[in-house]
Chain A
């Protein structure tokens, strides 16, 4: 790339030594954070079935953070509360942590004091981690970049300037930021990232939610606002694709994502690093224009911008440029729009996709409750009886019991295909609220229910890993709590949603065996004429017999419901 291509001819010919060293380090650093370095990213990319795509295929291309080996700084403990988009810490470190936990658990009574100090230290570590050590992969990237930058300085001392390289680095950063934010923006443009609260959530007291949940819900109640947020993010992304508008896009990006970073800190949303990543990229994009604007507006001086811009009329540049831009536009505006529309209409990813039994849907009072034949009268203090129940639009039964359970602290996000793993309706929700996924045998009128909150089902271990990072347990005997005859009546969950939303990604996930997680299970026969009174009989997770009479209530909410509904139920 010679200087002859420079059509502006007004670039600074000679850079200072300091500027050159800073640039070399910055070049290596921004390249390291802008280019996907995890093998998982490439696996996803090559596994995509472009003829039967799923929105998540494209979203996963757009969504990656910094993934570097812990050269200088180890990653903090993995925490289930971290949201999607937050990069996962490296595997070796995690194993080490698990050992630590085991050691702690095995400590004898003689070490009681140090044991006691353990959790306190832990929580302190977690707190400090959420402010600084979360950025450890950036630290590692910087460490590598400094090494590269210094070696480069030794080898290339004579070069007067890096105007050309600077231009290309900006292009890479611009495109990285644009693609990333567009991936984010689309889940808001077709509002699925923050779902409208389900009946069970509407019936939960405000004070029974975690802060993270409160923020997500507060956006979920106004889908049009979410659409607006999506438009802002996508506009920022679209402006970043073009040199002339890139600075305006970057300013919008910094404003929006700077706010989201702060929101994530304030509400402990868990996506602060990924949000701040865009602020970092945006700041790099505007870096050259800031001093110019300062000169023009604040100092009120005549300003001559200096920059390199290749001559794109040359075929070497012209055709690859058209091809690459065209490809980016096709994938991130074309395919992504198509798959997101499908997702919004038939399979909103934070809500179960299977329609619930129609006649059952609604709010219910628990009129009668018998356990092992013993009638339990209503009392708000009773720790066994259900207080109220809902059948959601989808395959979920919720009820509330005045008994504390371990709250699912996650964001309820991710990309699970199976309805039971779509936990937004229970994540971050306390107050004794329970949510059970059901398979409905609508011929014999039986519901096969499983607790959506695995932590609530008495699993005492809580720590490190998310469900999916758990080590696979030994092969057990096949689980046949649902008979083959019943399965025939229930059908194939993979195929229960609208045909237009079928995809290869979904097929693959359903082809893998379900993760072995101990969940509370209920098998309940339902009996109703018109849905106004539903009688449930069966057994609960402790093999106690249950007899529950539910009476439908027409609960009027103050909260207005938007006309914009995700999903088809």
Chain B
């Protein structure tokens, strides 16, 4: 640590030193990747073809001791370790540790950690990927058939411009955190923004309340550096001394610093930004990539329904009959019926590469059963597999024919190995979200 030359050395009180020792150990454990699961993830990345999902994964490190999604119990464990460590540290014979330098390096570390974390989420909102526009199936599901977290995401999804704005705020905060002088402003933005995210996670039963609070804890530590000064100037209206600690790096160290900093910013801002943009254009991660049956996307009324040649007339109460069927633009079919759905719930962010892992469209949604399908367009056969892991064995093999663009005939074997015949008629469905409410809406 001789690289830093301290200008006017500040006096450190005993309790300040004790606090800093504690926080030093505490935040080192919280931010330096020590978790083997993280390295497992790192090594599975194809470094010759890094995808935005990989960078998102890198940006989202936190130690998971007792739980893979993070828990406050882990924080207590880490705090106990830090308190013990700080105690032992204080008992060591007098060292010439310069606490100002220690503080500087800890704050620098946390600044970068927080910047990366907040930018990780910033770009997938800036290019509205995190909450995509609702699928046709989602639009045609009763409001009460969603979990609150799903509604949160769908409600954000209908306004991509607003999502971009939110992402922009996160990016701004992240970039301000890369620089010492603007770090407190960046941290303040994180406190307000991520504070809201944290409360939203609690209210909507989202799965990221620990992680969002983790980012808040970093922001608090960073902001605390200037809090006293700001209070003195703004609230008390007194003349205020600025931060006087300015690190100076001699010779090659300055060059190294600039190279490292530039590389980091280049990777997490430019490379990640570019990759996310490409992903937004070519492969939004929430919905499957495989294309659906050409020209079929839409919602269809089930005009006729037979099982083992027995006709089921329209009925509000029947549990077997399908009510309506949605063909998405991608290879997903969803069927609304009275058959209950055991929910498939994911309420935290993961960027999945494989279509089979992309369950956003059915996560937290009842009312419909979702099937991924493969189409054999030569023999006109669809093989449907239930996407919900609670119904993983369900498979339907259906022959299809399309006498005209508004009609689809399906016949084959359903999940209980009964023969099924279905006549689907396209509904010309219009959505107020797409029409706006300023003109006359007759729907």
Q: Smallest CB-CB separation from B441: which chain A residue? A: A407
Complex contacts, B155 vs chain A, CB 8 Å: 214-215, 217-218
B199 touches A205 (CB 8 A): no
Q: Which of B138, B200, B314, B442 contacts A206 (CB 8 A)?
A: B138
With A298-B181, A409-B441 in contact, is A307–B237 under 8 Å at CB? yes
Complex contacts, B230 vs chain A, CB 8 Å: 293, 296-297
B233 touches A218 (CB 8 A): no
A409 touches B437 (CB 8 A): yes
A46 touches B (CB below 8 Å) = no
Q: Which of B146, B152, B243, B431 contacts A207 (CB 8 A)?
A: B431
| Residues 366-419 (chain A) with a chain B CB within 8 angstroms | 366, 377-381, 387-388, 404-407, 409
Binds A, one of B35-43, B48-56, B71-79, B159-167: B159-167
B316 touches A557 (CB 8 A): no
B14 touches A (CB below 8 Å) = no
Complex contacts, B203 vs chain A, CB 8 Å: 222, 224-225, 228
With A297-B242, A304-B239 in contact, is A381–B301 under 8 Å at CB? yes
A558 touches B364 (CB 8 A): yes
Complex contacts, B146 vs chain A, CB 8 Å: 206, 558-559
Complex contacts, A533 vs chain B, CB 8 Å: none
B181 touches A300 (CB 8 A): yes
B160 to chain A, nearest CB (A): 9
B236 touches A (CB below 8 Å) = yes
A123 touches B438 (CB 8 A): yes
Measured in the bound complex, the distance between the Cα atoms of B151 and A294 in whole Å is 40
Complex contacts, A265 vs chain B, CB 8 Å: 161-162
A52 to chain B, nearest CB (A): 35
With A206-B143, A214-B158, A560-B148 in contact, is A407–B243 under 8 Å at CB? no
| Residues 190-233 (chain B) with a chain A CB within 8 angstroms | 192, 196, 199-200, 202-205, 226, 229-230, 233
Measured in the bound complex, the distance between the Cα atoms of B246 and A462 in whole Å is 67
B124 to chain A, nearest CB (A): 18
A201 touches B143 (CB 8 A): yes
A507 to chain B, nearest CB (A): 34
A262 touches B (CB below 8 Å) = yes
Complex contacts, A210 vs chain B, CB 8 Å: 432-433, 436-437, 441
A214 touches B433 (CB 8 A): yes
Complex contacts, B185 vs chain A, CB 8 Å: 297
Measured in the bound complex, the distance between the Cα atoms of B77 and A341 in whole Å is 43
Interface residue range, chain A: 35 or more
Q: Smallest CB-CB separation from A267: which chain B residue? A: B159
B431 touches A208 (CB 8 A): yes
Q: Smallest CB-CB separation from B154: which chain A residue? A: A206
Q: Smallest CB-CB separation from A207: which chain B residue? A: B139
B100 to chain A, nearest CB (A): 15
Q: Which of B139, B144, B159, B316 contacts A558 (CB 8 A)?
A: B144
Q: Smallest CB-CB separation from B196: which chain A residue? A: A259
Q: Which residue among B139, B238, B439 has the maximum number of chain A CB atoms within 10 Å of its CB?
A: B439
A244 touches B431 (CB 8 A): no
A55 touches B (CB below 8 Å) = no
A504 touches B (CB below 8 Å) = no
A431 touches B (CB below 8 Å) = yes
Complex contacts, B234 vs chain A, CB 8 Å: 247-248, 289, 292-293
Complex contacts, B66 vs chain A, CB 8 Å: none
Q: Smallest CB-CB separation from A300: which chain B residue? A: B242
Complex contacts, A407 vs chain B, CB 8 Å: 432, 437, 441-443
A296 touches B242 (CB 8 A): yes
B443 touches A404 (CB 8 A): yes
B9 touches A (CB below 8 Å) = no
B162 touches A222 (CB 8 A): no
A266 touches B (CB below 8 Å) = yes
B443 touches A430 (CB 8 A): yes
Complex contacts, B432 vs chain A, CB 8 Å: 207-211, 213, 407, 428, 430
| Residues 407-443 (chain B) with a chain A CB within 8 angstroms | 429, 431-433, 436-443
Measured in the bound complex, the distance between the Cα atoms of B170 and A259 in whole Å is 13
With A225-B199, A262-B165, A560-B205 in contact, is A207–B429 under 8 Å at CB? yes
B242 touches A365 (CB 8 A): no
B323 touches A (CB below 8 Å) = yes
A443 to chain B, nearest CB (A): 32
B323 touches A221 (CB 8 A): no
The contact string, 1 if C-beta is below 8 Å from chain A, for chain B 118-141, is: 000000000000000010001111
B143 touches A222 (CB 8 A): no
B316 touches A303 (CB 8 A): no
Complex contacts, A259 vs chain B, CB 8 Å: 196
A37 touches B (CB below 8 Å) = no
A302 touches B240 (CB 8 A): yes
Measured in the bound complex, the distance between the Cα atoms of B432 and A431 in whole Å is 9
| Residues 317-376 (chain B) with a chain A CB within 8 angstroms | 317, 323-324, 343, 364-367
Complex contacts, B238 vs chain A, CB 8 Å: 305
B69 touches A (CB below 8 Å) = no
A137 touches B (CB below 8 Å) = no
A491 touches B (CB below 8 Å) = no
Complex contacts, A248 vs chain B, CB 8 Å: 234-235
B3 touches A (CB below 8 Å) = no
A selection of 14 A-B contacts at a CB cut-off of 8 Å is: A81-B437, A205-B140, A206-B151, A207-B432, A222-B204, A293-B234, A297-B243, A300-B181, A305-B233, A309-B237, A366-B316, A380-B314, A406-B442, A558-B367
Given A266-B162, A381-B301, 6 further pairs, Cβ under 8 A: A208-B432, A210-B436, A268-B436, A301-B242, A407-B437, A558-B145
Pairs of residues from A and B, 9 with the lowest C-beta to C-beta distance, nearest first: A207-B139, A202-B144, A225-B203, A266-B162, A430-B443, A557-B144, A218-B155, A266-B159, A409-B437
